[in-house]
Amino acid sequence: MKARIIERRQLCPEIYLYKIEAPHVAERFRPGQFVIIQTHEKGERIPLTVAEAQPEKGIISLVFQVVGKSTLHLSLLQKGQYLENCVGPLGNPSEIRRFGRVVCVGGGTGIACLWPILKALKAVGNEVLTIIGARTAERLILVEEIRQASSQVFITTDDGSQGEKGLVTDVLARWINSPAGASSPAIDRVIAIGPAPMMKKVAEVTRPQRIKTIVSLNTIMVDGTGMCGSCRVFLGQTMKLACIDGPEFDAHRVNFDDVISRLEMFRQKEKLALETYRRQLAAQREGLAPKELHPKRLSSD
Amino acid sequence: MIKIGGRRVPMRELSPEERIKNFSSVPLGYTEAEAVREAQRCLQCRGVPCEVYCPIHLRVLDMIRAIAARRFQEAFFIIQADNPLPAITGRVCPQESQCEGVCPLAQDGRGLNIGKLEAFVADWARARGLREKLQIKERPQRVAVIGSGPAGLICAYDLRRWGYQVVVFEALHKAGGVLQYGIPAFRLPTEVVDYEISYLQEIGVEFRLNFFVGQNIPFAELRRDFAAIFIGTGAGAPLFLGIEGENLKGVYSANEFLIRVNLMKAYRFLEYDTPIICGRRVGVIGAGNVAMDAARCARRLGAEEVYILYRRTRKESPARDEEIQHALEEGIIWMELVAPRRFLGDEKGWCRGVELVRMRLGEPDSSGRPRPLPIEGSEFVLELETVIEALGTTPNRLFLKQAPELAVNRWGLIQVDDNLQTNLPGVFAGGDAIRGNATVILALGDGRKAAAAIHRQLSEAER
Ligand SMILES: Cc1cc2nc3c(=O)[nH]c(=O)nc-3n(C[C@H](O)[C@H](O)[C@H](O)COP(=O)(O)OP(=O)(O)OC[C@H]3O[C@@H](n4cnc5c(N)ncnc54)[C@H](O)[C@@H]3O)c2cc1C
Ligand code: FES
Is residue B293 within 6 Å of ligand 1 at its C-beta? yes
Top-level CATH class of B142-236+394-462? alpha beta
3-state secondary structure of B176: coil
| B209 touching A (Cβ < 8 Å) | yes
Burial label for A212, CB within 10 Å (0-12, 13-18, 19+), is middle
d(CA B247, CA B241): 12
Q: Domain B16-127 adopts which CATH fold?
A: Fumarate Reductase Iron-sulfur Protein; Chain B, domain 2 (1.10.1060)
| B172 touching A (Cβ < 8 Å) | yes
Omega before A247 within 30 of 0, i.e. cis: yes
| A71 touching B (Cβ < 8 Å) | no
Q: pLDDT of B136-152, one tens digit each?
A: 999 999 999 999 999 99
| B274 touching A (Cβ < 8 Å) | yes
Q: What is the DSSP letter of B10?
A: P
Q: pLDDT of B29-63, one tens digit each?
A: 999 999 999 999 888 888 898 888 998 889 999 99
Output the tens digit of pLDDT for each of chain A's 301 residues: 789 999 999 999 999 999 999 999 999 999 999 999 999 999 999 999 899 999 999 999 999 999 999 999 999 999 999 999 999 899 999 999 999 999 999 998 999 999 999 999 999 999 999 999 999 999 999 999 999 999 999 999 999 898 889 899 988 988 888 765 444 568 999 999 999 999 999 999 999 989 999 999 999 999 999 999 999 999 988 999 999 998 999 999 999 999 999 999 999 999 999 999 999 998 888 876 555 544 444 433 3
Mean pLDDT value of segment B155-170: 96
Mean pLDDT value of segment B16-20: 88
**Can you name the residues that pair with B284 across neighbouring β-strands?**
B308, B388
Side by side, which strands form the sheet with B251-253?
Answer: B251-253, B386-389, B281-285, B305-310, B333-336
d(CA B236, CA B393): 6
How confident is the prediction for chain B on average, in pLDDT?
92
pLDDT at site A288: 62
CB contact under 8 A, B271 and A42: yes
Q: For residue B275, which residues of chain A lie inside 8 Å, CB to CB?
A: 44, 266, 269-270, 273
- Domain A3-90+269-285 homologous superfamily, CATH: Translation factors (2.40.30.10)
Name the nearest CA neighbour of B245 among B340, B341, B344, B353: B344
CA distance A42 to chain B (A): 5
d(CA B291, CA B71): 39
Side by side, which strands form the sheet with A85-90?
Answer: A82-83, A3-12, A15-21, A59-65, A46-54, A34-38, A85-90
CA of A197 to the centre of ligand 2 (A): 22
Domain ranges of chain B: 16-127, 142-236+394-462, 240-391
pTM over 0.90: yes
Q: What is the DSSP letter of B30?
A: -
Residue of B221, B273, B401 to mutate when probing chain A, most A C-beta within 10 A: B273
Q: How far is CA B433 from CA B115, B228, B420, in A?
A: 25, 17, 11
Output the 3-class SS for chain A: CCEEEEEEEEEECCEEEEEEECHHHHHHCCCCCEEEEECCCCCCCEEEEEEEEECCCCEEEEEEECCCHHHHHHHHCCCCCEECEEEEEECCCCCCCCCCEEEEEEECCHHHHHHHHHHHHHHCCCEEEEEEEECCHHHCCCHHHHHHHCCEEEEEECCCCCCEECCHHHHHHHHHHCCCECCECCCCEEEEECCHHHHHHHHHHHCCCCCCEEEECCCCCCCCCCCCCCCEEEECCEEEECCCCCCEEECCCECHHHHHHHHCCCHHHHHHHHHHHHHHHHHHHCCCCCCCCCCCCCCCC
d(CA B357, CA B50): 42
Residue of A255, A265, A278 to mutate when probing chain B, most B C-beta within 10 A: A265
CB count within 10 Å of CB B126 equals 18
Percent residues over pLDDT 90 in chain B? 73
| B240 touching A (Cβ < 8 Å) | yes
ipTM given for this complex:
0.91
Q: How far is CA A77 from CA A16, A18, A71, A295, in A?
A: 11, 10, 10, 11
CA of B236 to the centre of ligand 1 (A): 7
Q: pLDDT of B375-394, one tens digit each?
A: 999 999 999 999 999 998 89
CA distance A2 to chain B (A): 10
Same fold, B142-236+394-462 and B240-391: yes
Domain ranges of chain A: 3-90+269-285, 101-264
Considering the four listed CATH numbers 3.40.640.10, 3.90.1150.10, 3.50.50.60, 3.40.50.80, the one that applies to the domain covering A101-264 is: 3.40.50.80
CA of B145 to the centre of ligand 2 (A): 23
Q: In the CATH scheme, what is the code of domain B240-391?
A: 3.50.50.60
d(CA A75, CA A64): 9
d(CA B3, CA B345): 60
CB contact under 8 A, B270 and A266: no
d(CA B350, CA A104): 34
3-state secondary structure of B372: strand
Same fold, A3-90+269-285 and A101-264: no
